[in-house]
Amino acid sequence: MSFPSLEALAIEVAECRKCRLADTRKSVVFGEGNPEANLMVIGEAPGADEDASGRPFVGRSGQLLTKILQAVEFSREEVFIANIVKCRPPENRNPLQDEITCCTPWLEKQLEIISPKVILLLGKVAANTIFSNQTALGAMRGKVLEWRGVDCFVTYHPAALLRNPNWKRACWEDVQLMRHHYDNLMKKSRA
């Protein structure tokens, strides 16, 4: 199926009933931000606050994500923020493989329309889904990984940082590396 815009895709996603998460959701959390963003941020799934509001990363972990982005001079408005699955798993459990499989085509369409230069993957579920692997988070951090010609960076999910504040320094290093790489890519594209 072809979608001319994010708006058209969002209308289709709002009607999705492909998996069991549709039965318990309050909202489909499509994602938000700049539809022409050079940086796309991808987490794993909406939580309770996101399900209630229909917006990604608005709870405590979202507030931390906003601070992380601001620390490397990005505003939420200039990036696009989405999740692997668009509906909240019950009790904030990790999404199950069949739920991820049902939702992945929506994310792929988002990526196709937005066409970011860089992707920041938050947490193991997001990274393992994008790269179709079971690699440990630590093995994916601290380097540029490529997915379909797009440079990707992996770091801790903000919710994990709230539970384990000692990981914040490593996250800071990850996003600084991403920002440095992003700036170099933007310089090359302007040259």
Domain extents in the chain: 6-190
Report domain 6-190's class. alpha beta
Each residue's pLDDT, cut to its tens digit, for the chain (191 residues) gives 678 899 999 999 999 999 999 999 999 999 999 999 999 999 999 999 999 999 999 999 999 999 999 999 999 999 999 999 999 999 989 999 999 999 999 999 999 999 999 999 999 999 999 999 999 999 999 999 999 999 999 999 999 999 999 999 999 999 999 999 999 999 998 87
Distance of CA 20 to the CA centre of its chain: 21
Q: Which residue has the tokens 């979608």?
A: 3
Cα–Cα distance measured from residue 114 to residue 190, given in angstroms and rounded to the nearest whole number: 19
Q: Is the pTM of this model over 0.95?
A: yes
